[in-house]
């Protein structure tokens, strides 16, 4: 109790004092920092520069890092309020070990000792592959790199994947198949310099808001947005293509058909730099405008117009995000996008790129440095020369490197169900909200002998299930680098100390290696993340994702630079891949891919008449672990909702703000607020995926892309009932 307040001697004048400051203006005195620490936003892959204001050792403010090349002095609502995530009440502060069914605070030594003992015992009994690891695009690149070595060479399992498989795996697979390597070829600047920008399944205004300023700055473009919803981004478009759910692949093939048929193919580029044109030409005969119009629901005239605009553009840009990736046809759709770029030569030039816009702040880092989809430096598991080269750099026997990738995320979950995986280490991700078809996941996790969850927050739905919780430092409390969607490497800096006994993920990985007795071999004389970065620079040298010329000092001077960045590269030059027409294939040629459209796996009809689409809202991030703790974001968007077209609602006798249940063959989400809107077409409904309390993944489908293993989050068949109707 504040006795001064009780006696009326404290009128909270300090609490409510205002003051003037050069950078913040007239504001609450509590919010005026002693100093600012430059860093990079820890939410999405746009990679904005942020400064954290620190007062008395606490983060009290966030503002744009004015000199950063990405955001040009702006931030979205999440970036502007990012400091609130640091002091959140639900921060994990101490290791917690389940004893007698209850989580009990223990010291780090005991926590890591038990973890190693249980993991080793499981592996001794069931084989090395019985241990799985799931990480995240939230770590810094140095941590991915360190973790990859630890999992592969220390624990000897290659059943290691990240939550990036839930969002970007199809872009990775598609690029590899078409161009021979992962790596988005373009740059944000291309959105300013293209004369035609086609966005497919990409609601930038909600998901990557700061990128919209690049579009707005381009006054000479035609913006085409293909999206079944009239999303905020579709509202910005010159042409909106309200195509039927999951018909984008047919549209892309139909556009390619028109380009070929009407001589809009760049024959010189195709002849010099590609293979497979003749097969593609034959394959495309099936994609006549008549058939594509039927599949997509678009008019033939609109399909022609879109194809001709793109085909005749001087520089055509195609950007995509989860609308493409979250599909059983995600990889095929990425290949069809790449086909269009190759047919027209819209690649490797200013304004011309097939450009995957990534999800998390450092999804790119895991793709480059991690062990999940490839060996570090985009080396291929199956390529003996790649393995040999990497083993030589590390000074380890080549046989210790895997010759094929281990299980992907969904297959790790499936292996918990079949009990092939018995112990699991989950790092900074929350599958109990984010994984499709929660029933299967919960069944799998309940089979585990030992579950470790390492996270900056506790409790979360996932940490609550853990046998051991390891408390981790988060954004603002640790150092490293993130790489954004345009391959720009940006420094992440520590502004404040982590709470309680929480440690950075990097420190945790080194401590685990120490206990395993691998620290000296894997991380000789490493003490800081910069040591990891400097080794990663050597490992990436000469590769497509060459970091060798980047140093922490260079990043401090220039804010952020794009790879490839070999020694002596010019930080002011915009970098594009494949400008010379040389691709990452043995013969240097890119491949046309015949990617056939098919209807999505669970069609609506009968008892389940609606197609459910899922996605994000600008206020929240993924499973809301962080943004739920930011008062302004939470007040703006406190609960989930279901969008439905008024015509459908009329048929069901439902009205706006009614409480409804969303039901699929797999489960039921109860008590969702109904919103009636023409944004969503008849026969479709939309729901955001952030909310643990009303988790849309109770009903989504565990169907996956056969190549990338990315989930088909975007379409499943549901019915909508008034809440309580079936009680
Ligand atoms: S656009 Fe993305 S990176 Fe930029 S401030 Fe918003 S969340 Fe952060």
Q: Please name the residues in contact with 424: beta carbons below 8 A apart, sequence gap of 6 or more.
A: 131, 132, 133, 134, 412, 416, 445, 448, 450, 451, 452
Measured in degrees and rounded to the nearest 5, phi and psi for residue 132 equal -120, 155
This prediction has a pTM of 0.94
Looking from the CA of residue 361, the nearest atom of ligand 1 is 3
In 596-650, where do the E strands start and end? 610-615, 641-644
For residue 78 and ligand 1, the question of a CB distance below 6 A is answered with yes
Q: Put the strands of the sheet holding 49-55 in their side by side order.
A: 35-40, 49-55, 58-64
pLDDT at 22 over 60: yes
pLDDT at 238 over 90: yes
Three-state DSSP at 468 gives strand
For residue 80 and ligand 1, the question of a CB distance below 6 A is answered with no
How close is the Cα of 300 to the center of ligand 1, in Å? 38
Measured in degrees and rounded to the nearest 5, phi and psi for residue 671 equal 65, 50
Measured in degrees and rounded to the nearest 5, phi and psi for residue 63 equal -150, 160
Minimal-distance CA residue to ligand 1 atom 6? 76
Q: What does DSSP assign to residue 379?
A: B
Residue 462's closest CA among 430, 436, 489?
Answer: 430
Quick: pLDDT tens for 521-549: 999 999 999 999 999 999 999 999 999 99
Residue 342's closest CA among 225, 259, 285, 262?
Answer: 259
pLDDT at 188 over 70: yes
Alpha carbon distance, N-terminus to C-terminus of the chain: 46
CA distances from 393 to 491, 540, 569 (A): 25, 11, 23
For residue 205 and ligand 1, the question of a CB distance below 6 A is answered with no
Three-state DSSP at 259 gives helix
User: Helices 248-261 and 277-284 sit at what angle, rounded to 10 degrees?
Assistant: 110
Whether the Cβ atoms of residue 400 and residue 153 lie closer than 8 Å to each other: yes
**Helix, strand, coil fractions of the chain, as percent rounded to 5:** 35, 20, 45
For residue 560 and ligand 1, the question of a CB distance below 6 A is answered with no
For residue 177 and ligand 1, the question of a CB distance below 6 A is answered with no
For residue 211 and ligand 1, the question of a CB distance below 6 A is answered with no
d(CA 562, CA 571) in angstroms, rounded, equals: 8
Q: Report pLDDT for 267.
A: 98
Whether the Cβ atoms of residue 644 and residue 662 lie closer than 8 Å to each other: no
Whether the Cβ atoms of residue 130 and residue 423 lie closer than 8 Å to each other: yes
For residue 41 and ligand 1, the question of a CB distance below 6 A is answered with yes
Beta carbons within 10 angstroms of residue 570's beta carbon: 9
Q: Which of 194-203, 317-326, 358-367, 608-617 has the lowest mean pLDDT?
A: 358-367
How close is the Cα of 577 to the center of ligand 1, in Å? 24
How close is the Cα of 222 to the center of ligand 1, in Å? 25
Looking from the CA of residue 70, the nearest atom of ligand 1 is 4
How close is the Cα of 393 to the center of ligand 1, in Å? 36
Quick: pLDDT tens for 192-202: 999 999 999 99
User: Over the chain, what is the mean pLDDT?
Assistant: 95
Furthest-apart CA pair in the chain: how many Å?
Answer: 88
Minimal-distance CA residue to ligand 1 atom 4? 48
Phi-psi region of 83 (alpha: psi -120 to 50; beta: other; left: phi over 0): alpha
For residue 48 and ligand 1, the question of a CB distance below 6 A is answered with yes
Q: Please name the residues in contact with 553: beta carbons below 8 A apart, sequence gap of 6 or more.
A: none
CA distances from 120 to 114, 126, 508, 556 (A): 10, 10, 17, 41
CA distances from 486 to 251, 490, 579, 654 (A): 26, 11, 15, 45
Residue 370: pLDDT band with limits 50, 70, 90: confident
For residue 204 and ligand 1, the question of a CB distance below 6 A is answered with no
pLDDT at 727 over 60: no
Helices and strands counted in the chain (H then E) = 26, 28
Quick: pLDDT tens for 375-431: 999 999 999 999 999 999 999 999 999 999 899 999 999 999 999 999 999 999 999
Phi-psi region of 395 (alpha: psi -120 to 50; beta: other; left: phi over 0): left
Minimal-distance CA residue to ligand 1 atom 5? 79
For residue 210 and ligand 1, the question of a CB distance below 6 A is answered with yes
Mutate to test the pocket of ligand 1, among 72, 75, 167 (most ligand atoms within 8 A of CB): 75
Q: Report pLDDT for 1.
A: 60
How close is the Cα of 361 to the center of ligand 1, in Å? 8
Mutate to test the pocket of ligand 1, among 44, 72, 85 (most ligand atoms within 8 A of CB): 44
Q: What does the pLDDT average to over 569-580?
A: 94
Identify any residues that bridge with 28 across adjacent strands, giving them in sequence order: 18
User: Which residue is it, tokens 């241990």?
Assistant: 131
How close is the Cα of 165 to the center of ligand 1, in Å? 21
Mutate to test the pocket of ligand 1, among 38, 41, 49, 77 (most ligand atoms within 8 A of CB): 41
Residue 341: pLDDT band with limits 50, 70, 90: very high
How close is the Cα of 202 to the center of ligand 1, in Å? 15
Measured in degrees and rounded to the nearest 5, phi and psi for residue 141 equal -55, -40
pLDDT at 150 over 70: yes
CA distances from 38 to 21, 503, 560, 572, 721 (A): 18, 21, 11, 20, 49
pLDDT at 143 over 90: yes
Q: Put the strands of the sheet holding 488-492 in their side by side order.
A: 480-483, 488-492, 560-562
Q: Which residues of 133-165 are buried (b: 16+ CB within 10 A; e: fewer)?
A: bbbbbbbbbbbbbbbbbbbbbbbebbbbbbbbb
For residue 198 and ligand 1, the question of a CB distance below 6 A is answered with no
For residue 92 and ligand 1, the question of a CB distance below 6 A is answered with no
For residue 226 and ligand 1, the question of a CB distance below 6 A is answered with no
Minimal-distance CA residue to ligand 1 atom 2? 44
How close is the Cα of 642 to the center of ligand 1, in Å? 25
How close is the Cα of 107 to the center of ligand 1, in Å? 36
Residue 722's closest CA among 644, 664, 645, 660?
Answer: 660
Identify any residues that bridge with 647 across adjacent strands, giving them in sequence order: none
Q: Please name the residues in contact with 521: beta carbons below 8 A apart, sequence gap of 6 or more.
A: 153, 396
For residue 252 and ligand 1, the question of a CB distance below 6 A is answered with no
Quick: pLDDT tens for 675-696: 999 999 999 999 999 999 999 9
How close is the Cα of 207 to the center of ligand 1, in Å? 9
Q: Report pLDDT for 371.
A: 77
Mutate to test the pocket of ligand 1, among 39, 43, 360 (most ligand atoms within 8 A of CB): 43
Mutate to test the pocket of ligand 1, among 49, 62, 71, 81 (most ligand atoms within 8 A of CB): 71
Quick: pLDDT tens for 63-103: 999 989 999 999 999 999 999 999 999 999 999 999 999 99
Chain center to CA of 257: 32
Whether the Cβ atoms of residue 155 and residue 120 lie closer than 8 Å to each other: no
How close is the Cα of 86 to the center of ligand 1, in Å? 17
């Amino acid at each position: 109790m504040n006795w001064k307040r009780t006696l009326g001697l404290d009128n909270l004048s300090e609490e409510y004092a205002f003051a003037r400051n050069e950078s913040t203006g007239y504001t609450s005195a509590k919010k005026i920092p002693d100093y600012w620490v430059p860093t990079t936003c820890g939410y999405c892959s746009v990679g904005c520069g942020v400064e954290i204001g620190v007062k008395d050792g606490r983060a009290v403010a966030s503002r744009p890092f004015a000199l950063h090349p990405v955001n040009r002095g702006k931030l979205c609502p999440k970036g502007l309020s990012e400091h609130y995530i640091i002091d959140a009440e639900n921060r994990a502060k101490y290791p917690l070990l389940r004893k007698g069914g209850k989580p009990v605070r223990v010291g780090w030594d005991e926590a890591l000792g038990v973890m190693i003992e249980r993991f080793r015992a499981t592996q001794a009994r069931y084989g090395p592959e019985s241990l799985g690891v799931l990480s995240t695009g939230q770590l810094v690149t140095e941590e991915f790199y360190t973790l990859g070595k630890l999992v592969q060479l220390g624990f000897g399992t290659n059943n290691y994947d990240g939550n990036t498989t839930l969002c970007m795996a199809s872009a990775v697979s598609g690029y590899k198949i078409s161009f021979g390597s992962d790596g988005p070829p373009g740059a944000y600047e291309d959105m300013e310099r293209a004369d035609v920008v086609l966005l497919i399944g990409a609601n930038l205004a909600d998901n990557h808001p700061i990128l919209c300023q690049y579009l707005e700055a381009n006054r000479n473009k035609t913006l085409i947005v293909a999206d079944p919803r009239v999303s905020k981004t579709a509202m910005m478009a010159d042409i909106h293509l309200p195509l039927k759910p999951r018909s984008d692949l047919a549209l892309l093939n139909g556009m390619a058909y028109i380009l070929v048929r009407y001589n809009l193919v760049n024959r010189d580029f195709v002849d010099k730099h590609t293979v497979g044109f003749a097969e593609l030409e034959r394959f495309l005969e099936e994609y006549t405008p008549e058939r594509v119009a039927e599949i997509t629901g678009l008019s033939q005239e609109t399909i022609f117009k879109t194809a001709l605009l793109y085909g005749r553009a001087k520089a055509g840009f195609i950007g995509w995000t989860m609308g493409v990736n979250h599909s059983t046809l995600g990889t095929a759709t990425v290949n069809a996008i790449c086909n269009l770029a190759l047919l027209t030569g819209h690649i490797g030039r200013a304004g011309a790129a097939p450009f995957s816009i990534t999800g998390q702040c450092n999804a790119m880092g895991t793709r480059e440095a991690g062990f999940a989809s490839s060996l570090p430096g985009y080396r291929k598991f199956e390529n003996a020369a790649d393995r040999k080269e990497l083993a030589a750099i590390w000074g380890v026997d080549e046989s210790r490197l895997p010759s094929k990738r281990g299980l992907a995320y969904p297959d790790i979950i499936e292996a918990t169900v079949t009990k092939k995986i018995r112990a699991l280490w989950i790092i900074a991700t929350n599958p109990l909200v984010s994984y499709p078809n929660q029933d299967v996941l919960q069944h799998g996790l309940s089979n585990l002998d030992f579950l470790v969850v390492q996270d900056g927050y506790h409790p979360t739905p996932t940490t609550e299930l853990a046998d051991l919780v390891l408390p981790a430092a988060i954004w603002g409390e640790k150092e490293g680098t993130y790489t954004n969607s345009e391959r720009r490497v940006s420094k992440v800096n520590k502004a404040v100390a982590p709470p309680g006994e929480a440690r950075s993920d990097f420190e945790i990985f080194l401590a685990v290696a120490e206990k395993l007795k691998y620290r000296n071999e894997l991380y000789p004389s490493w003490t800081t993340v910069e040591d990891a970065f400097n080794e990663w620079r050597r490992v990436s040298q000469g590769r497509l994702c060459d970091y060798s010329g980047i140093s922490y000092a260079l990043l401090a001077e220039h804010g952020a630079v794009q790879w490839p960045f070999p020694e002596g590269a010019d930080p002011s030059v915009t970098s594009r891949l494949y400008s010379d027409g040389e691709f990452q294939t043995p013969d240097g040629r890119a491949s046309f891919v015949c990617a056939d459209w098919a209807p999505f796996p669970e069609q609506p009809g009968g008892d389940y008449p609606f197609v459910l689409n899922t996605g994000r809202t600008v206020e929240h991030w993924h499973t809301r672990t962080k943004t739920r703790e930011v008062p302004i974001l939470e007040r703006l968007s406190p609960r989930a909702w279901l969008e439905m077209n008024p015509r459908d609602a009329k048929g069901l006798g439902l009205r706006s703000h009614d409480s409804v249940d969303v039901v699929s063959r797999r489960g039921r989400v109860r008590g969702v607020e109904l919103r009636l809107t023409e944004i969503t077409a008849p026969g479709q409904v939309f729901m955001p995926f952030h909310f643990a309390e009303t988790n849309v993944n109770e009903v989504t489908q565990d169907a996956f892309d056969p190549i990338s293993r990315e989930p088909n989050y975007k379409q499943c068949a549901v019915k909508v009932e008034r809440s309580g109707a079936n009680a």
